[in-house]
Chain A
Amino acid sequence: MSRYRVAVHIVPRRGLLDPQGKAVADALHSLGFAGVRDVRVGRHLVIDADAPEAQSAERVVRDMCAKLLANPVTEDFEIAHVEQA
């Protein structure tokens, strides 16, 4: 068993209105960042977990996302990073 640090991004699904992202985009526009086309505000989780290898640590976190961390109706997730902790 080794300890792995897995980072996961959870973001509102594309096509769903994300009013928080829209408010941030509007604020960026007003600051002069004219190139901003879309902002979605989500969550970033960093999970330390024991697992025999990196692949299984990632698999377990995917399972966590499916069961609890992300809502399949409204959110997408992606594993951002896996490293030995």
Chain B
Amino acid sequence: MKFGIVKFPGSNSDEDAFLAVEEVLGQEGVWLWHKDHDLRGADVIILPGGFSYGDYLRAGAIARFSPIMREVVAHADRGGPVIGICNGFQIACEAGLLPGALLRNQSLQFVSELCRVRVDNTETRFTNEYTPGQILRLPIAHGEGRYVADDATLDRLEQNGQVVFRYVNATGEVDPAHDPNGSSRGIAGIVNDRGNVLGLMPHPERAAESVVGSADGVPLFESVLAHVGV
């Protein structure tokens, strides 16, 4: 399976994603430059973390108008899988691939830590290799990760099972003290209503080998393979 990893000016988790795809998953990775006009045959698109275009204006606001994003949106419209990680999640929201927005952390501080994330829906193409309610250790590193949407949207996301990941405490409960950025309802990751676009603030690609502290991100990528029988 071919994973296309987009490089925007200011991306910084692109290499980690590439490494996870090629060395951990044993799949093929292809680089997609932000000025490219085609996806080079990629089956799955990863919008990586970083600070595309310096986060000018709003995180992700300018990246969404990159030439490559027109192709990424068309790929998503065809039902193709897209994974937006951290800045990639922000870009996906700005591009209208996912509802809501990501705002400045409630603490006003950049947070960089290993946090606990609960898998709330294992019926997606991105989470089928996890067990329901499984608690993952995943790193986060962001200044603007507070997920917001209006109440009607949040209700709809919950009713449809689109809330895939939530920040939780050691006993697996959502709790404001363990919500690292003040996200609405502890939301760390969501899918769109068709289930082919995932956005999450934690970094599964930086939790791909136990030597770096956690390999809990690997099943996310394996789920994508399992979904199509690779």
Write the residues of chain A forming the contact surface with B, with a CB cutoff of 8 angstroms.
Answer: 12, 16-17, 19-20, 23, 43, 68-69, 71, 73-74
Q: Across the interface, do A69 and B100 meet the contact criterion of CB distance under 8 Å?
A: no
| Separation of A12 and B146 alpha carbons in the complex (Å) | 14
Which residue, of A17, A43, A73, has the highest number of chain B Cβ atoms within 10 A?
A73
Q: Residues of B contacting A69 with CB < 8 Å? A: 57
A73 touches B57 (CB 8 A): no
Tell me if B120 counts as interface (CB < 8 A to partner A): no
Jot down 19 A-B pairs with beta carbons below 8 A, ordered by A. Answer: A12-B103, A16-B103, A16-B148, A17-B106, A17-B146, A19-B104, A19-B105, A19-B107, A19-B108, A20-B108, A43-B57, A68-B61, A68-B65, A71-B101, A73-B93, A73-B99, A73-B148, A74-B101, A74-B103
With CB as the reference atom, state the residue of chain B lying closest to A68.
B61
Contacts of A16 in B (CB 8 A): 103, 148
The size class of the interface chain B forms with chain A is 20 to 34
Contact B108–A73 (Cβ < 8 Å): no
- CA–CA, A19 to B144, complex, Å? 11
